[in-house]
């Protein structure tokens, strides 16, 4: 097996998902699952996480088939993290019907050598204390990125602030960015976040795309305009995973490379939402990725304007 290039910390879970067209029960999900399966097209991912003894062997096999290194995934007596959600008609609003932390409730990440020397680290959305534990465990000077959610903004703002201060890249959706910073526009919210420490802030806007901000630069990538979305679950994690996978592969952390990485993330997310769980994300042809990169490039191009 290739030695891992990207360490991803986050949930591995079972999701029951209701959409206007279908209900799927206990399918493979979790932030680390989507992120690693998007990243693996570009770099070898290793996941740090935990599953219960109810975690189906076929899910484990599926992740291994995808080339995901599960050495740092513990199996503990108890239940695997479970999430039950329902999407409204337009797929842009979702309601959480049930969350059961299970073994994830007492999870402590453990990162043995040589995994502590991986040079790219993505802290998917988990308790910020666990994100800090992982940062403490890492040797060398990895490129680090963190995602979060409104729950931690409300309940553990101080810990979350510490995470933001210590990572190189911070992922956040537009609403959370405004909530965190009390700023009004996403550009000013990004400024406030950048002043805390990260050198890149990535604002996720769902089906409207994503915006990247450094102190001096900005980039916008639109979402691929799809005719049908089957299940948006995991789109944000897939976006971040694809982006971090591309950065892990190139080792180039310049803003032009970040932009390319964000386009890759956008493309991977567009495949993710075309089916439930990993059903589409697990087998994407290189040519299909290239076509969607071109689609995004074409989407924003316009001729010279003479005034």
Residue 8: CB minimum distance to a second copy, A: 21
SS3 67: coil
Residue 45: CB minimum distance to a second copy, A: 17
Q: Using the minimum distance from each CB to a second copy, give the nearer residue, 61 or 226.
A: 226
288: tokens are 């299909």
Residue 229: CB minimum distance to a second copy, A: 6
Q: Using the minimum distance from each CB to a second copy, give the nearer residue, 44 or 131.
A: 44
Integer angstrom CA distances of residue 68 from 40, 172, 288, 304: 7, 25, 22, 45
Residues forming contacts to a second copy in the complex (CB under 8 A) are 20, 89-91, 175, 178, 182, 184-188, 191, 205, 207-209, 211, 213, 218-222, 225-229, 256, 259-260, 263-264, 286, 289-290, 293, 297, 299-303, 305, 307
CB 51 within 8 A of CB 103: yes
Residue 89: CB minimum distance to a second copy, A: 7
CA-CA distance, 269 to 65, in Å (whole number)? 20
Q: Rounded to a whole number, what is the largest CA-CA distance in the chain?
A: 69
Q: Using the minimum distance from each CB to a second copy, give the nearer residue, 127 or 204.
A: 204
CB 12 within 8 A of CB 46: no
Q: Using the minimum distance from each CB to a second copy, give the nearer residue, 73 or 221.
A: 221
Residue 97: CB minimum distance to a second copy, A: 20
CA-CA distance, 268 to 263, in Å (whole number)? 9
């Amino acid at each position: 097996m290739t030695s891992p290039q990207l360490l991803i910390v986050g949930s591995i879970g079972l999701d029951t998902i209701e959409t206007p067209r279908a209900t799927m029960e206990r399918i493979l999900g979790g932030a680390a699952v989507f992120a690693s399966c998007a990243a693996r097209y570009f770099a070898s991912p290793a996941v740090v996480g935990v599953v219960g003894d109810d975690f189906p062997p076929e899910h484990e096999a599926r992740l291994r088939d995808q080339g995901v290194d599960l050495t740092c995934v513990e199996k503990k007596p108890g239940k695997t993290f479970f999430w039950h959600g329902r999407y409204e008609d337009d797929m842009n609003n979702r309601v959480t019907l049930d969350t059961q932390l299970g073994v994830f409730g007492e999870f402590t990440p453990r990162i043995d050598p040589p995994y502590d020397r991986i040079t790219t680290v993505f802290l998917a959305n988990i308790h910020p204390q666990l994100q800090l534990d992982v940062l403490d465990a890492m040797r060398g000077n990895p490129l680090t990125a963190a995602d979060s959610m409104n729950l931690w903004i409300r309940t553990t703002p101080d810990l979350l602030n510490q995470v933001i201060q210590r990572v190189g890249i911070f992922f956040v959706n537009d609403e959370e960015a405004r909530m965190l910073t009390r700023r009004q526009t996403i550009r000013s919210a990004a400024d406030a976040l950048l002043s805390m420490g990260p050198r890149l802030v990535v604002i996720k806007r769902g089906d409207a795309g994503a915006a990247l901000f450094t102190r001096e630069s900005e980039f916008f990538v639109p979402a691929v305009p799809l005719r049908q979305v089957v299940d948006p679950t995991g789109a944000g994690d897939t976006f971040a995973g694809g982006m971090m996978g591309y950065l892990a592969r190139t080792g180039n952390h310049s803003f032009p490379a970040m932009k390319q990485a964000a386009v890759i993330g956008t493309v991977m997310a567009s495949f993710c939402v075309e089916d439930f769980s990993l059903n589409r994300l697990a087998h994407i042809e290189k040519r299909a990725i290239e076509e969607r990169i071109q689609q995004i490039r074409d989407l924003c191009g316009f001729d010279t304007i003479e005034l």
